[in-house]
Amino acid sequence: MIERIEAMLFSVYMTAQKKYGPGPSGFFLPSKYSQYFKKDPMELFMRINNDYGPVASFSFFGIRITSITNPADIKYVLQENSSNYTKSITYNELKHILGQGLLTSEGSFWKRQRRISQPAFKKSMIEGFSTIVLEEVDKVLKSYQNKSITDISEDMMKITFIVVGKALFQKDLGERAELISKALDTSLELVLSRMQTIFKFPLSFPTPTNSKLNHAIQVMKSMVDELILERRKSGGGQGDLMDFLMFTKDEETGETMTDSQIRDEVLTFLLAGHETTSNALAWTFYLLSLHPDIRTKVREEVYPVMRTGLNYSSLENLPYTKNVIQEAMRLYPPIWIIERTPIKDDEVGGFTVPAKSIVSVCINSIHKNKDYWINPEGFDPERFNPENSSGRHGFSYLPFGGGPRICIGNHFAMMEATLILASIVHNYDLNLTSLANVAKNPLVTLRPKNGIEMSLHKI
Ligand code: HEM
């Protein structure tokens, strides 16, 4: 009996010892902050850290959230002590679409999947994918010949989906591309809205929205299953991502992926590989239309490269074009927040982050932090040239995340975005139309809310 009382007292003592980061008190967020939860969650995080410092903490319906903005603390969570962290519950909704794919899986299963998938993103593969990008951007340029106005956000969504679709399936996708893309859009939209809803019915409960989501997921999965079956029958040899996923043996266990693992990875690559790159490009064109002087500099860099023809090796001659994309992703990070859950209590920046809580790394706040960036709201690609980048903390710029879970497609994305930007800027000036109503829509990715309508002027 005495032992039990002692244990209880010890537990109460330990709880009292937990020193969470400073922040608003109470079970719910005060309205000063909660008003931003749906309207502009990026602003919510920005304000909390501005008001309470780099390790700010609050309770959200009883869940403790700690928002960290110090690069050293972020490095600790994402890299140095990453084995004590899983992805947070926020990612659970994505599992409805992506199952146990790379983005959503954990532990030794994730490690194995990453080991098998990594060689598919090596330099020689990316070089091969660059020809797909160039073919597809040519089609976009041809389509512009008969247009004076376009929604660049829609154009980029389409091209990035086709590029990753072809990188995965070479020629097999055909007419299925549009059906999969539509189903993916619908399911992502519904899943993202579930992420922002606190009380929701489980997916098995037949509400009209759930039925719509289940149907979209079903369509996608059955089409991808069909593609997997076809590839099993044909036996591979296409040299695309699908061949890698199907036939690469894990170097440690000698195992290959099962069909359902392949399906989860295919859906993960289709989703993670187009939405983000598309947003990065759409915001880049938007920023260039506001800064024609910078667009002219890009064009001046691209011009001599075009004389010999744009290809993968041109990339090394396009450093400024790349810096423009990097700077656009600083101001408009395509994924603006990543979150983790500690497995065991941990200490970050001198404060306790309890097990099962959420640690939020708000990429947007870090990218705009005046302690790490001069004139953080300004659009200045030069800050990414080698001279200005030297000495910058690696975890103060995180468009692709950091640590072992860093984006597997980062080099793919930079190759694709740079070639698309160079091709279009060389041929067209894109300017915002007077009717364009540009606004941010920060769900998990940072989309433009109403698209970005632009006029096209042939150079
Ligand atoms: C500009 C484009 C892109 C951006 C900004 C971006 C951003 C990110 C970020 C921030 C993460 C880390 C998420 C976390 O730690 O919770 C991530 C992970 C991931 N990304 Fe990307 N991404 C881009 C393009 C791509 C492309 C082109 C692909 C594939 C073709 C891809 C596939 C993935 C995958 C599979 C993961 C999970 C990796 C893992 O956990 O092992 N991404 N991405």
Q: Which residues line ligand 1 (CB under 6 A)?
A: 87, 102-103, 114, 164, 268-269, 272-273, 276-277, 280, 334-335, 338, 399-401, 405, 407-409, 412-413
Name which residue sits closest to atom 2 of ligand 1, judged by CA.
277
Cα-to-centroid distance, 409 and ligand 1 (Å) = 6
pLDDT tens string 249-301: 888 888 899 999 999 999 999 999 999 999 999 999 999 999 999 999 999 99
| Rounded Cα–Cα distance for residues 267 and 148 (Å) | 35
Q: What is the DSSP pairing of strand 358-362 with strand 63-68?
A: parallel
**pLDDT-based confidence at residue 16 (cuts at 50, 70, 90):** low
The residues near 354 (Cβ < 8 Å, ≥ 6 apart) are: 18, 20, 64, 342, 345
Pair of tokens at residue 395: 């975890």
Count of Cβ atoms closer than 10 Å to residue 100 Cβ? 18
Name which residue sits closest to atom 16 of ligand 1, judged by CA.
338
| Rounded Cα–Cα distance for residues 278 and 260 (Å) | 27
The residue ranges of DSSP E strands in 258-332, in sequence order, are none
Would you state the pLDDT for residue 17? Answer: 56
- Give me the DSSP letters along 191-236: HHHHHT-SS---TTS--HHHHHHHHHHHHHHHHHHHHHHHHHHHT-
Pair of tokens at residue 446: 């940072």
Would you state the pLDDT for residue 6? Answer: 55
**85 residue type, one letter:** Y
Q: Report the half-sphere exposure of 200 (CA within 13 A, side-chain side).
A: 16
Q: Which of 277, 281, 320 lies closest to 430, judged by CA?
A: 281
Atom number in ligand 1 closest to CA 114: 41
Cα-to-centroid distance, 407 and ligand 1 (Å) = 4
Name which residue sits closest to atom 43 of ligand 1, judged by CA.
407
Q: What is the mean pLDDT of the chain?
A: 92
pLDDT at 141 over 90: yes
pTM score of the predicted model: 0.93
Pair of tokens at residue 302: 């691209």
Q: Report the half-sphere exposure of 426 (CA within 13 A, side-chain side).
A: 20
| Rounded Cα–Cα distance for residues 166 and 133 (Å) | 9
pLDDT tens string 69-78: 999 999 999 9
Would you state the pLDDT for residue 7? Answer: 44
Q: CA end-to-end span of the chain, whole Å?
A: 85
pLDDT at 14 over 60: no
Atom number in ligand 1 closest to CA 279: 1
**pLDDT-based confidence at residue 401 (cuts at 50, 70, 90):** very high
Distance of CA 138 to the CA centre of its chain: 26
Q: Which of 264, 247, 401 lies closest to 329, judged by CA?
A: 401
Q: Which of 225, 227, 213, 134 lies closest to 175, judged by CA?
A: 227
pLDDT at 445 over 80: yes
Best probe residue, ligand 1, of 88, 169, 407 (max atoms within 8 Å of C-beta): 407
**pLDDT-based confidence at residue 172 (cuts at 50, 70, 90):** low
Pair of tokens at residue 383: 């800050």
Cα-to-centroid distance, 400 and ligand 1 (Å) = 6
Pair of tokens at residue 439: 């606004």
Atom number in ligand 1 closest to CA 105: 40
Name which residue sits closest to atom 11 of ligand 1, judged by CA.
407
Cα-to-centroid distance, 435 and ligand 1 (Å) = 33
Q: Which of 421, 118, 108, 51 lies closest to 265, judged by CA?
A: 118
Q: Which of 251, 336, 358, 322 lies closest to 41, judged by CA?
A: 336
Q: Give bridge partners of residue 361 from the DSSP assignment.
A: 68, 338
Would you state the pLDDT for residue 175? Answer: 82
Contact (Cβ atoms closer than 8 angstroms) between residue 70 and residue 54? yes
Name which residue sits closest to atom 20 of ligand 1, judged by CA.
407
Would you state the pLDDT for residue 203? Answer: 86
Cα-to-centroid distance, 9 and ligand 1 (Å) = 45
User: All domains of the chain, ordered by start, with CATH?
Assistant: 1-98+336-398 (1.10.630.10)
Would you state the pLDDT for residue 1? Answer: 45
Name which residue sits closest to atom 19 of ligand 1, judged by CA.
407
Cα-to-centroid distance, 363 and ligand 1 (Å) = 14
Q: Which of 323, 277, 274 lies closest to 297, judged by CA?
A: 323
